[in-house]
Amino acid sequence: MTTADLTTLDQAGLEAALQKAGDTVKALKAKKVSKEEVQPAVDHLLAVKAEVKRRAEQAQKDGTAPKEFDRAALDALLAQRFFVAPSFQIYGGIAGLYDYGPPACALQNNILAAWRHHFVLEEDMLEVECTNLTPESVLKTSGHVDRFADYMVKDVKTGDIFRADHLVKQVLKQRLDDDQKLKSGLKVKVAKGKPQPVQLDKEVRDEYDMILETLDNYVGEDLTNLLKRLEIRAPETGNELSEPVLFNLMFETQIGPTGQFRGFLRPETAQGHFLNFKKLLEFNNDKMPFASASVGKSFRNEISPRQGLLRVREFTMAEIEHYVDPTKKDHPRFGEVRNVVVPLYSASAQAEAAGPTKLSIGEAVDKGIINNQTLGYFVARIYLFLLRIGIDPARLRMRQHMANEMAHYATDCWDAEIQSSYGWIECVGCADRSAYDLTAHSKRTGERLTVQERLAEPIVTNALELDILQPNFGKTLKKNAKVVETYLNGFKNEDEEWNEKELTKLDEEIKAKGSVTVTAADGNQYELNSTLISITRKTKKVSVRNYVPNVIEPSFGIGRILYQLLEHSYYVRQDDEQRAVFKFRPGIAPNKALVVPISQSDRETFEPHIKQVVSALRRAGVANKVDNSGASIGRRYARNDELGTPFAVTVDFQTLKDGTVTLRERDSTKQIRESISTVVGLLKELVEESTTWEAVAKMYPEFVAQEV
């Protein structure tokens, strides 16, 4: 598409073009092509951006601009109705730490209950609870002590600290903004002592745009050079910055009074599962495959967290570790998800900037887009779970990691990304961690974290073996016998099998020269001949196979999912801009039913009926709250719309005559009128999601007469 064509596109077409243009630049940059080659793509991206901006300004002028999502209004509502609050707010708060008030706490409990039902119960997973406190040795093995870090820079005079990539982003965006203002003749205010903003050449603008699109690629020296070349300084003071250094994101502490155990708060729950692998396998009667699951807190000492609930220092995770035979990654229940259609954004599609494709999981695995059935099974199950709790399918995709962004332990990884006003955000990761962790912990501790499979038929093997010829070996090498033996054992792999190639080499050399000289771990050389070792081919019957299982890990950031669900559920009534609503599904909503008397004036008259409704609801297991405050009935409904309460049961003057009550649904605001027992029965079904309001509204006449 040429830039000129852009004006002919409809709005959806333009948005698609914007996405594609951005993806194209990213893909080219990931391929590390030359600046010249990427330039046309950058030009095109800027042209699309310009057209988007032009249209938005035009719509603003015409008054036809669509009502934009107002994050500030949502944030205000979340604070006002105590969904969340900054922790220790009366002490000034600390960035990245939040408390959940009653509505968010109930919402999270319901999401976790749905999660346990969807995964743990349905798949018979083994739930464990491991400690947050973790000794250094464990996290050293897992790689977190050395590699779980972000780059930070320091203001050399004040000591203020910034996360390097975030700072670059902030400064470049500021420069681009200033440039645009200057070009349109606006003045840019600058505090005293700070550098004056300058107009930028087109070339520089283009470079900044490109850096912003590909910031993740800059690490180590590249990042140091970038900061120097861009002359990035501390934004408030204008002081110089130190070179970027890695800051480990784990919270450190001492376990025990003597300080002998350096420890950390875990950055993920996964390691606890792995350390218990042998016990879990035994608990599962040694049957493979199986999964462990855990819900708990994890901690990351973010350098300077922003983005509200999406980047926090303490958060709830729900993690699954599914252990599977590396040679049999089929999944017994794959047939159940084969036809589930999922928006998949594969690594190759990203490289070609092609956008996500809707594909059945079966097809994706058959074509090799998803590596294996087990990974595919979980990609589908994660997708279904997110839909089940109410995530908007139009703002949900499964994106494969590109090779350069994969975690150090992963061989393939798919993220569930959910779109909100913060962009596309990773909320669930589904990685194939291979045998990385179990192998590492096993090597470090000497504990064998393997599965023993009894073979249906013994396998006859025919392989080279090395034998040490005692007593001559001991007599000849004396106190060095041990170190030489250790050297020779180095020719075995993890499964205790001899390396055929190395043994052949050794054998040939001895046969050719009569002896071979080797260098052991003590640095000394030893001469070995056929009186000390023998290398022969042997035939053996093997009836057990040992293997380290591979691990498929679906890992859920519950807080992120919760926030995205809040954005997806939030809307403002069209007929009344003052009235915000959360359209939570009945199964997930914090509270299920509001119970109200129509007015407070005859409180005692209504009281027994209210009690009757409440006790019937409690028996039916429907969470409910009574609001018998003096506020108008409309106000009380509105207050519960703001909490996302899906239903309201109203006791009114007709109740006193015939024992009927009204049942109101939140989004339609429609009501029906039936006996208390009918309404309670319907509510039970609605909340269990075994029926829908649409079905109920069809079966029962609408009630419209009630006046407030």
Residues of span 150-189 touching a second copy by CB under 8 A: 152, 159-161
Contacts of residue 171, defined as CB under 8 A and 6 or more positions apart, other chains included, come to 230, 232, 235
Using CB under 8 A, pick the residue from 51, 70, 123, 127 that binds a second copy. Answer: 127
Pick between residue 6 and residue 77 the one whose CB is nearest to a second copy: 77
Distance in Å, CB of 444 to a second copy, minimum: 8
Chain positions 55 to 84 lying near a second copy, rule: CB under 8 A, are: 81-82
Cα–Cα distance, 224 to 165 (Å, whole number): 11
Q: Which stretch binds a second copy (CB under 8 A): 102-110, 167-175, 526-534, 601-609?
A: 102-110
Pick between residue 349 and residue 562 the one whose CB is nearest to a second copy: 562
Using CB under 8 A, pick the residue from 65, 97, 459, 542 that binds a second copy. Answer: 97
User: The tokens 């990685």 sit on which residue?
Assistant: 431
**Residue 447 touching a second copy (CB under 8 A):** yes
Pick between residue 278 and residue 395 the one whose CB is nearest to a second copy: 278
Site string for a second copy, 230-249 (x = CB under 8 A): -----------------x--
Asked if residues 409 and 433 have their Cβ atoms less than 8 Å apart, the reply is yes
What number of chain residues touch a second copy (CB under 8 A)?
76
**Residue 109 touching a second copy (CB under 8 A):** yes
Distance in Å, CB of 300 to a second copy, minimum: 11
Pick between residue 293 and residue 342 the one whose CB is nearest to a second copy: 293
Instruction: Report whether the peptide linkage leading into residue 289 is cis, meaning its omega lies within 30 degrees of zero.
Output: yes
Using CB under 8 A, pick the residue from 183, 297, 443, 505 that binds a second copy. Answer: 297
Cα–Cα distance, 549 to 435 (Å, whole number): 6
Distance in Å, CB of 131 to a second copy, minimum: 5
**Residue 108 touching a second copy (CB under 8 A):** yes
Pick between residue 98 and residue 377 the one whose CB is nearest to a second copy: 98
Phi, psi of 685 (to 5 degrees): -70, -40
User: Measuring CA to CA, which residue among 235, 172, 177 is closest to residue 208?
Assistant: 172
Distance in Å, CB of 547 to a second copy, minimum: 19
Cα–Cα distance, 418 to 597 (Å, whole number): 40
Q: Which stretch binds a second copy (CB under 8 A): 132-140, 319-327, 480-488, 655-663?
A: 132-140
Which DSSP helix (H) or strand (E) runs through 457? strand 451-468
**Residue 87 touching a second copy (CB under 8 A):** yes
Site string for a second copy, 356-375 (x = CB under 8 A): --------------------
Pick between residue 91 and residue 186 the one whose CB is nearest to a second copy: 91
Partners of 468 in beta bridges: 533
Asked if residues 650 and 664 have their Cβ atoms less than 8 Å apart, the reply is yes
Distance in Å, CB of 283 to a second copy, minimum: 5
Using CB under 8 A, pick the residue from 5, 15, 57, 124 that binds a second copy. Answer: 124
Pick between residue 364 and residue 561 the one whose CB is nearest to a second copy: 561
For 163-276, where are the alpha helices, taking DSSP H only? 164-183, 202-213, 220-229, 270-275
**Residue 326 touching a second copy (CB under 8 A):** no
**Residue 686 touching a second copy (CB under 8 A):** no
Cα–Cα distance, 143 to 141 (Å, whole number): 5
Instruction: Report whether the peptide linkage leading into residue 235 is cis, meaning its omega lies within 30 degrees of zero.
Output: no
**Residue 451 touching a second copy (CB under 8 A):** no
Q: Which stretch binds a second copy (CB under 8 A): 522-530, 560-568, 619-627, 700-708?
A: 619-627
Phi, psi of 14 (to 5 degrees): -65, -40
End-to-end CA distance of the chain: 59
Pick between residue 491 and residue 563 the one whose CB is nearest to a second copy: 563
Distance in Å, CB of 296 to a second copy, minimum: 8
Which DSSP helix (H) or strand (E) runs through 79? helix 71-80
Phi, psi of 242 (to 5 degrees): -70, 165
Q: Which stretch binds a second copy (CB under 8 A): 125-133, 355-363, 579-587, 603-611?
A: 125-133
**Residue 653 touching a second copy (CB under 8 A):** no
Distance in Å, CB of 639 to a second copy, minimum: 9
Using CB under 8 A, pick the residue from 129, 575, 658, 707 that binds a second copy. Answer: 129
Q: Which stretch binds a second copy (CB under 8 A): 12-20, 207-215, 353-361, 618-626?
A: 618-626
Using CB under 8 A, pick the residue from 90, 460, 512, 705 that binds a second copy. Answer: 90
Pick between residue 400 and residue 442 the one whose CB is nearest to a second copy: 442
For 514-557, where are the alpha helices, taking DSSP H only? none
Using CB under 8 A, pick the residue from 225, 504, 615, 629 that binds a second copy. Answer: 629
Using CB under 8 A, pick the residue from 51, 75, 207, 314 that binds a second copy. Answer: 314
Asked if residues 644 and 583 have their Cβ atoms less than 8 Å apart, the reply is yes
**Residue 105 touching a second copy (CB under 8 A):** yes
For 674-682, the CB contacts below 8 A with 24+ separation are 674/700, 676/609, 676/612, 676/613, 676/616, 677/616, 679/613, 679/649, 680/613, 680/616, 680/617, 680/620, 680/622, 681/620
Using CB under 8 A, pick the residue from 135, 332, 490, 608 that binds a second copy. Answer: 135
Distance in Å, CB of 242 to a second copy, minimum: 12
Residue 84: both structure tokens together: 């969340």
Write the DSSP string, 375-389. Answer: HHHHHHHHHHHHHHH
In Å, the largest CA–CA distance within the chain is 111
3-state secondary structure 467-493: EECCCHHHHHHHHHHHHHHHHHHCCEC
CA angle 622, 624, 628 (to 5 degrees): 155
Asked if residues 448 and 519 have their Cβ atoms less than 8 Å apart, the reply is no
Asked if residues 614 and 683 have their Cβ atoms less than 8 Å apart, the reply is no
Which DSSP helix (H) or strand (E) runs through 664? strand 660-665
Q: b/e map of 114-134 (b: 16 or more CB within 10 Å)?
A: bbbebbbeebebbebebebeb
Distance in Å, CB of 145 to a second copy, minimum: 14
Cα–Cα distance, 183 to 178 (Å, whole number): 9
Chain positions 249 to 288 lying near a second copy, rule: CB under 8 A, are: 251-258, 261, 263, 265, 272, 275-276, 278-280, 282-283, 285
Chain positions 485 to 514 lying near a second copy, rule: CB under 8 A, are: none
